[in-house]
């Protein structure tokens, strides 16, 4: 590189950085799958994140969360939050290049995303390399917080906790409700990071809890049919199927179950596709009785009014309810805003430090959590899971029993008796 060019580059960089500091907005890069098979989930996440940012930038304090209605971040003289959305198409490579672009071109103060654990993996590597805080609100692969990253923070609990919850739920069913304990478990999961990770944990905890894993089927996502997979499950005659699928596969598998007349005692789903609003819309009656781990449910609003208030705002704007995914994306923006506000600066180091000191009480969240506080790996230690079941086309909380709004229906009624 010639020296005049170097001088020019330095001047250009200076000009850019001056330009950035002169603006009264804090740019946060947000990575979600806005096109591709998971686009409908991605758009829900985007809408929820945007609602959170607009609430912080606006002056309506009626929601009752700190920062909501603050008219921008008080710690930065009322600077507004601007979310810069990028589409990673569910593709890890695209996720990495988009993260790179957001950092280089848009000079974002922090990144949030990316729903798919695989994409979060690559995008957060870019953030780590560039020293930019990455807040993950919605990926549940445990490996993400086992990489020793310094710039990675995850607000959602991860799959290990969810899997433990599932077995606690089974134990409680027997201990507190006197249901017969299922013995034979089949594990059914898509074969990317999310599914394989969850399947591994389910296998481990099933064995530790004295269950028999009779079949473990990992399938390639985005296929045209799941007939061979379902036939394999059927042949193993399980009492219980533990399933991890994204939306398209969740729908396809349910239809295949019905067509081939496969019916376990219960289907314990691992969130994701099963908790997408589209899943219930598409499946109609056939989606009933699916049990899923969740982090959020609308009926929690009865016990925590802020949930109902936030949901009313989303309803008014987009005509849909929050779900576990969108509620976490919403919460992610608030967690980032809280940290940037306390940092009082958009310098990455300051935000990183503020994130490490985050301590948001559970009352200030629309989640049924104890709060947000990160450990040394960047994992929120105060997250908690719930278990929901589809009843009459809606997800209702059935566990923990003290939060439950309905009794669990167990076993699933036959396909032709609904």
Identity of the residue, 178 or 284, whose beta carbon is nearer to another protein in the bound complex: 284
Identity of the residue, 106 or 255, whose beta carbon is nearer to another protein in the bound complex: 255
- CB neighbours (10 Å) of residue 379? 23
Q: Which of 192, 123, 197, 191 is nearest to 154 (CA)?
A: 123
Shortest reach from residue 17's CB to another protein, in Å: 36
> Interface with another protein by CB under 8 A: which range of 39-47, 97-105, 294-302, 369-377?
39-47
Site for another protein contains 235 (CB under 8 A): yes
Site for another protein contains 214 (CB under 8 A): no
Instruction: Find tokens 């995008």 and name the residue.
Output: 123
278 exposed, middle or buried (CB, 10 Å; 0-12, 13-18, 19+)? Answer: middle
Site for another protein contains 191 (CB under 8 A): yes
Shortest reach from residue 36's CB to another protein, in Å: 6
Shortest reach from residue 281's CB to another protein, in Å: 8
Q: Which helix (H) or strand (E) holds 314?
A: helix 305-318
**CA 97 to centroid of chain Cα atoms:** 22
Site for another protein contains 224 (CB under 8 A): yes
Identity of the residue, 154 or 184, whose beta carbon is nearer to another protein in the bound complex: 184
**Between 266 and 285, how does the x/- string for binding to another protein read (CB under 8 A)?**
------------x--xx-x-
Identity of the residue, 110 or 198, whose beta carbon is nearer to another protein in the bound complex: 198
Q: Which helix (H) or strand (E) holds 1?
A: none
Site for another protein contains 263 (CB under 8 A): no
* Angle, CA of 139, 128 and 20, to the nearest 5°: 105
Site for another protein contains 78 (CB under 8 A): no
Q: Which of 137, 29, 138, 21 is nearest to 83 (CA)?
A: 29
Pick the binder of another protein from 20, 39, 214, 412 (CB under 8 A): 39
Identity of the residue, 223 or 370, whose beta carbon is nearer to another protein in the bound complex: 223
Q: Contact at 8 Å (CB) between 188 and 238?
A: no
Shortest reach from residue 116's CB to another protein, in Å: 15
C-alpha radius of gyration, the chain, whole number: 22
Identity of the residue, 325 or 346, whose beta carbon is nearer to another protein in the bound complex: 325
Site for another protein contains 321 (CB under 8 A): no
**CA 39 to centroid of chain Cα atoms:** 15
> Interface with another protein by CB under 8 A: which range of 103-111, 176-184, 213-221, 323-331?
213-221
Rounded distance between C-alpha atoms, residue 260 and residue 308, angstroms: 40
Classify 243 as helix, strand or coil. Answer: strand
Pick the binder of another protein from 37, 84, 263, 312 (CB under 8 A): 37
Q: What is the DSSP string of 335-349?
A: HHHHHHHHHTS--HH
Rounded distance between C-alpha atoms, residue 97 and residue 115, angstroms: 16
**Between 242 and 261, how does the x/- string for binding to another protein read (CB under 8 A)?**
-----xx--xx--x--xxxx
Residue 207 token pair: 């064995």
Pick the binder of another protein from 47, 91, 231, 373 (CB under 8 A): 231
Q: Contact at 8 Å (CB) between 17 and 11?
A: no
How big is the chain, counted in residues? 418
> Interface with another protein by CB under 8 A: which range of 30-38, 51-59, 133-141, 373-381?
30-38
**Between 149 and 188, how does the x/- string for binding to another protein read (CB under 8 A)?**
----------------------------------------
Q: Contact at 8 Å (CB) between 382 and 362?
A: yes
Classify 31 as helix, strand or coil. Answer: strand
Report 123-142 residues binding another protein (CB under 8 A).
none
Name the percent of the chain in helix, strand, coil, to the closest 5. 50, 20, 35
**Contact set with another protein (CB under 8 A):** 35-37, 39-40, 42-43, 191, 217-220, 222-229, 231-232, 234-235, 247-248, 251-252, 255, 258-261, 278, 281-282, 284
């Amino acid at each position: 590189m010639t020296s005049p060019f170097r001088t020019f580059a330095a001047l250009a960089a200076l000009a850019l950085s001056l330009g950035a500091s002169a603006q009264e907005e804090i740019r946060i890069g947000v990575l979600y799958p806005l096109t591709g098979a998971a686009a409908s989930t991605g758009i829900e996440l985007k809408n929820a994140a945007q609602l959170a940012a607009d609430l912080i930038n606006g002056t309506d304090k009626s929601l009752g969360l700190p920062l909501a209605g603050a008219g921008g971040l008080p710690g930065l003289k009322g600077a507004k939050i601007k979310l810069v959305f990028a589409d990673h198409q569910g593709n890890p490579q695209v996720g990495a290049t988009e993260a790179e672009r957001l950092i280089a071109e848009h000079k974002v103060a922090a990144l949030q995303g990316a729903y798919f654990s695989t994409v979060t993996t690559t995008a957060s590597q870019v953030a780590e390399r560039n020293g930019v805080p990455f807040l993950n609100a919605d990926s549940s692969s445990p490996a993400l917080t086992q990489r020793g990253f310094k710039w990675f923070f995850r607000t959602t609990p991860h799959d290990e906790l969810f899997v433990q919850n599932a077995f606690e739920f089974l134990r409680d069913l027997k201990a507190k409700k006197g249901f017969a304990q299922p013995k034979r478990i089949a594990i059914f999961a898509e074969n990317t990071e999310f599914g394989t990770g969850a399947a591994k944990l389910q296998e481990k905890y099933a064995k530790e809890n004295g269950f028999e894993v009779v079949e473990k089927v990992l399938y390639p996502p985005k296929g045209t049919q799941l007939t061979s997979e379902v036939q394999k499950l059927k042949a193993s005659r399980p009492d219980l199927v533990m399933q991890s699928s994204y939306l398209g596969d969740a729908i396809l598998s349910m239809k295949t179950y019905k067509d081939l007349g496969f019916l376990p005692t219960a289907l314990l789903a691992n969130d994701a596709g099963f908790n997408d609003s589209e899943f219930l819309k598409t499946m109609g009656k056939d989606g009933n009785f699916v049990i899923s781990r969740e982090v959020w449910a609308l009926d929690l609003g009865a016990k925590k009014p802020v949930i109902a208030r936030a949901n009313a705002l989303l309803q008014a704007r987009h005509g849909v309810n929050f779900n576990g995914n969108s509620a976490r994306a919403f919460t992610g923006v608030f967690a980032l805003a809280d940290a940037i506000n306390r940092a009082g600066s958009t310098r990455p180091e300051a935000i990183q430090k503020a994130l490490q000191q985050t301590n948001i009480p559970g009352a200030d969240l629309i989640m049924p959590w104890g709060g947000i506080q990160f450990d040394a790996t960047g994992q929120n230690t105060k997250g908690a899971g719930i278990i929901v079941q589809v009843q009459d086309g809606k997800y209702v909380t059935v566990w923990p029993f003290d939060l439950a709004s309905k009794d669990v229906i167990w076993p699933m009624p036959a396909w032709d008796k609904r």
